[in-house]
Each structure stands twice: as C-alpha cells, then as structure tokens.
C-alpha cells in the first residue's frame, strides 16, 4: 500500500460576502486554484488520475460544478472527478477520498480541494411553482427561498440556523461570551500579524478581478480586522438570540474562495521527480447529533488518534474549522489542546 504525499497547494485569498470575489463564479474560482496547484506541483494536467472537490452551493452553475472547473482549468476530458457535499468538512473529505484512492492503488495523482461562492448563491421558488398556483390566499403564500440559507446554513433536522444551534451548544457547555471573544481576538490578531508579515503569501494564488472597470489583482484575505480588541468585541450585539453569546465578532463571516492540493503516491513522486511538502498519516470522521455539529471534530480526532496509535500531544500544530469561536473552545475543554497550538495564523 502506497503512502500519500501532498506535493502542492494553492488557494485564493478569501473574499467576504458581497466583496471582491462576488462577481467571480465558483467555476472560475475552482479553475484558478486547480491550475495553480497543478503548476506548483510541476506536472501536466493530463497526468492526473482523478479530482475530488467539495462544493455545497451549486444552484444555477450547472451539473457537477468541479467538472466544469476542471475543463476550464485545462484538465483533459478523459480525466474525470466528482463533487462532495459534507458541508463544512467537504474539502477535508475530498482530501481523505483522494488519499484512500492512492492507498488502494486506484490512483497515483489526485487533485483535491474545495470551491464555494456564497455571494453567488441564488434565490429559488419551491416545487409548487412548477405545477402552477391555484390559490395564494389565507396564508397559502409563496416566497423566494435563499439557497444559501436553505442548502447551506439551515439544519433540516431542527429547522434552526447553524448559529442558533451553536447558541444551544454554548449553553450546554456553559461557555461564556468572554471565552468566545478571547478566541475571536486571538484569531483576528494572529491573522492580521501573519498577513502583515507575509506568512500567508506563499499559499495564495493571486487572481485578477475587475473593480470599477479596472483589472486589479486580489491577493489578500478580506474580513481580517487588525483593529479588533476585546473592547470592540464586547460592544457587539448578540447575533442569533437576544440574550445569546454569539456575535458577528466571534462567528465567522460568509465568504467566497477556493483551494486545491495535488496528492501523489510514492510511485508518482519518483516517476515525476516531485517534491513532497507533507505526508498524510491518515484521516477519520465521526458523526454527532446535527445540532451539536461544532463538537464533530472532537470524536473525529479521538478516532484518528486511536487509528494512528498516538495522542494529540504528539502534534505541534492543529488547524481547526473556526466557524464559531466555540469550535476552538471545545478543543481546549474536551481535548485539552492549548490555544497556542491552534490556528496559529488565525482561523
């Protein structure tokens, strides 16, 4: 069984909702990072065996969005791939699937990643519109539905927004506003410092966009607030509940962006003279009750540690999906991972 190596990685800078990337289609975002990752790996697009990309918001952009992005990136039609929809974990799952394909001997070079444009999520009517409306009176009305909310940010099991569910989980764990704001402050200050020091530049593939009829290069993450303080965070109003602890400051912004990596087998590394930047030791995923989704990384990490016969203390750095500050708070509370190891360049 082959080991799996990461031989290149590239991402766009992250655009805030309605920001610099709002007019760039997810297909173009995906194509851009695909081309960048392939070029950085030093391979030809035709050398790929397959590609796997996470994508959730696809309404209005055609069938199998990663396929269109791949063709636009110059990947030959006889190299095929597929999309994964596992919400926040979609990009990570694409990497795990690529790793599995290589370990199983089904592929030697796999392009993996994630593509999303929340700014280009459409509005839709329900299926009732297809068959015609007989009466729209007495409360039997019809509304436009926001595909971003319906397909991306609302739990169909509970009918709640992700933020509303996270408020419940904060209460269940007794997490305070101050604890959440501390993580938010660390995240912003670290991201601002890393940006100012140029530590993120190497991973970003600059993309040309049009602003005010001029072509400009977009290469810096939007939404990082270098002037964030504990006082400014404390002044923000609750976002999801009148007496809640979640705010716009300790919850992640809506964003647009894409990222890609090339995974290679030992055979491919030798055959193409590739230079690995990391080796994948393994992966694991775990399920939780839908409203407790923020806890999801905890059982997944425990499962992976058992699989690898190691423990979290063996790792110097941890990257965690920081959808809400609670994500990192729970890593410390439930796994005793200190903040100085988590998302050291911001989350």
Give the model confidence (pLDDT) of 218-277 as tens digits: 999 998 999 999 999 999 999 999 999 999 999 999 999 999 999 999 999 999 999 999
Residue 343: per-residue pLDDT: 98
The answer to the question of residue 298 being in a domain is yes
Handedness of CA 223, 227, 229, 234 (dihedral sign): negative
Residues 84 and 168 in one domain: no
CB 29 within 8 A of CB 115: yes
Distance of alpha carbon 257 from alpha carbon 25, whole angstroms: 10
Residues 262 and 165 in one domain: no
Residues 259 and 326 in one domain: no
Residues 322 and 263 in one domain: no
Q: Which domain CATH number covers 109?
A: 3.40.47.10
The answer to the question of residue 141 being in a domain is no
Residue 145 pairs in a beta bridge with 124
Residue 216 pairs in a beta bridge with 209
- The beta-strand segments (E) located in the chain are 4-11, 15-16, 50-54, 81-84, 109-117, 123-124, 145-146, 207-211, 214-218, 255-265, 278-280
Q: Residue-wise over 219-230: b if at least 16 C-beta within 10 A, else e? A: eebbebbeebee
Residues 313 and 269 in one domain: no
Q: Give how many domains the chain has, as a whole number.
A: 2
The answer to the question of residue 346 being in a domain is no
Domain of residue 232: give its range: 158-199+207-250+285-341
Rg (CA), the chain: 21
Give the model confidence (pLDDT) of 51-98 as tens digits: 999 999 998 899 999 999 999 999 999 999 999 999 999 999 999 999
Residues 29 and 98 in one domain: yes
Handedness of CA 175, 177, 179, 181 (dihedral sign): positive
* Rounded alpha-carbon distances, angstroms, from residue 202 to 34, 111, 206: 16, 19, 10
Residues 184 and 240 in one domain: yes
The answer to the question of residue 333 being in a domain is yes
The answer to the question of residue 145 being in a domain is no
Residues 265 and 184 in one domain: no
pLDDT band of 135, cuts 50, 70, 90: low
């Amino acid at each position: 069984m082959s080991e799996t190596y990461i031989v290149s990685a590239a991402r766009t800078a992250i655009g805030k909702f309605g920001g610099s990337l709002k007019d760039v289609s997810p297909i173009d975002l995906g194509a851009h990072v695909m081309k960048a990752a392939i070029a950085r790996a030093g391979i030809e697009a035709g050398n790929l065996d397959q590609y796997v990309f996470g994508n959730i918001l696809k309404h209005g952009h055609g069938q199998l969005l990663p396929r269109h992005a791949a063709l636009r990136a110059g990947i030959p039609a006889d190299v095929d791939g597929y999309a994964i929809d596992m919400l926040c974990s979609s990009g990570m799952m694409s990497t795990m699937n690529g790793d599995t394909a290589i370990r199983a001997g089904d592929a030697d070079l796999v392009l993996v990643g994630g593509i999303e444009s929340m700014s280009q999520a459409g509005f839709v009517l329900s299926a009732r519109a297809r068959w015609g409306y007989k009466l729209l009176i007495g409360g039997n009305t019809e509304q436009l539905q926001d595909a971003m909310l319906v397909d991306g940010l609302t739990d169909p099991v509970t009918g709640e927004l992700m933020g509303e569910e996270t408020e419940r989980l904060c209460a269940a764990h007794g997490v305070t506003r101050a604890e959440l704001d501390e993580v938010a402050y660390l995240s912003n200050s670290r991201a601002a410092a890393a940006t100012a020091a140029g530590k993120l530049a190497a991973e970003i593939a600059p993309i040309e966009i049009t602003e005010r009829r001029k072509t400009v290069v977009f290469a810096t993450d939007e939404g990082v607030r270098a002037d964030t303080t504990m006082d400014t965070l404390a002044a923000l109003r609750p976002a999801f509940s009148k007496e809640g602890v979640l705010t716009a400051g300790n919850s992640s912004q809506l964003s647009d962006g894409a990222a890609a990596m090339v995974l290679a087998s030992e055979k491919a590394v030798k055959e193409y003279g590739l230079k690995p930047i990391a080796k994948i030791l393994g992966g694991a995923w775990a399920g939780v009750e839908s409203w407790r989704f923020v806890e999801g990384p905890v059982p997944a990490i425990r499962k992976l540690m058992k699989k690898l016969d190691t423990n979290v203390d063996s790792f110097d750095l941890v990257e965690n999906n920081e959808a809400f500050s609670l994500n990192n708070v729970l890593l410390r509370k439930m796994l005793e991972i200190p903040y100085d190891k988590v998302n050291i360049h911001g989350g």
